Amino acid sequence: MSQRPSLRALAWRRPVRWLLAPIFQAGRSVALRRRLLLRVAALTRLPVVRCTKIAADTLRGVPIEWVSSTRQTPRRVLLYFHGGAYIVGAARIYRAVNARLADWAQARVAAVDYRLAPEHPFPAASQDALDAYRGLLERGIDPATIVLGGDSAGGGLALACALQIRDAGLPAPAAVVLFSPWTDLGLRGESIRSHAASELVLDADTLREAAAAYLGAQPADTPLASPMYADLHGLPPLLIQVADTEILYDDALRFAERAQAAGGTVELRVWHGLWHVWQAFAGKLPEADAALREAAAFIVRHARAA
């Protein structure tokens, strides 16, 4: 577990609640949530690392943006899935995160704009995730140089991608990096209730609404929607970062326990006194940069340099 939160983190707590909690208040339309998230992204002005190159592309028809550093030759690839409860979010909102991971892990980041619910319910997002990975392989990229990553719903999607890769018999990626992953759309973790008072960002009722929009007619324990209920054998090494105050705390802990029980290698890092996906405040919050440096070091340890 990390040390006590910094003074800067403590100072950010009220702005975080003020900025992000309205996006995840129950009963709001998806259109309003999307507008609010883009407004927050504009207000926070999270700094992108200097000498960052951004380029639009597609992988098997799935839109992505490449994020890389012009200061060095990228030697790895991170396939990154943004969060947003499967109903909001966009790759461009995570440029501050992806620019640092690209720089510190000497990687090109392929940030995926997968289809969102309710317009595109399950399994659209998981199909896009697998197509994006297949697209990397079709370009001749060595899977041993590829790492999957994602935050919140994007963390669940990164796991769904890894499961589909395994079940399709495709070459496996080197590792998976997860920030506060949403692994149980049934919201059965005890922290959904016990951490409600300390949660700064998410709302359980909103997550139920988002899960219903994403799942459609599928049950909440569908493995590719809720990786908590999947057969977890044969997954690549996992790094999971989570805050001890968030309602998805148990999604990380329970998943880590199940993955380890299935024979997997899991590094679980619990950070004290922060909030859901604090890594998104890269360049503003020292704990965000520290977490991303830890993730970059994990990527370098596990992914072969091309």
**Euclidean distance between CA atoms 62 and 110, whole angstroms:** 11
Q: Check if 68 is active-site.
A: no
Question: What's the token pair of residue 169?
Answer: 């018999």
Question: What's the token pair of residue 112?
Answer: 């995926």
**Identified catalytic residue from 126, 152, 180, 226:** 152
User: What type of residue is 168?
Assistant: A
Question: What's the token pair of residue 227?
Answer: 């990786």
Phi, psi of 150 (to 5 degrees): 180, 165
For tokens 């993955």, the residue is 259
Report the b/e string of 86-103 with b at 16+ CB within 10 A.
bbbbbbbbbbbbbbbbbb
**Identified catalytic residue from 82, 195, 276, 302:** 276
Phi, psi of 41 (to 5 degrees): -60, -40
Q: Check if 246 is active-site.
A: yes
CA atoms within 13 A on the CB side of 150: 31
CA atoms within 13 A on the CB side of 17: 11
Q: Does residue 121 contact residue 114 with C-beta atoms inside 8 Å?
A: no
CA atoms within 13 A on the CB side of 68: 17
What angle, 0 to 180 degrees and rounded to 10, lies between the N-to-C axes of helices 7-20 and 286-302? 90
**Identified catalytic residue from 199, 246, 287, 294:** 246
Q: Check if 152 is active-site.
A: yes
Which residues on neighbouring strands pair with residue 267, listed in sequence order? 239
| Catalytic residue IDs | 152, 246, 276
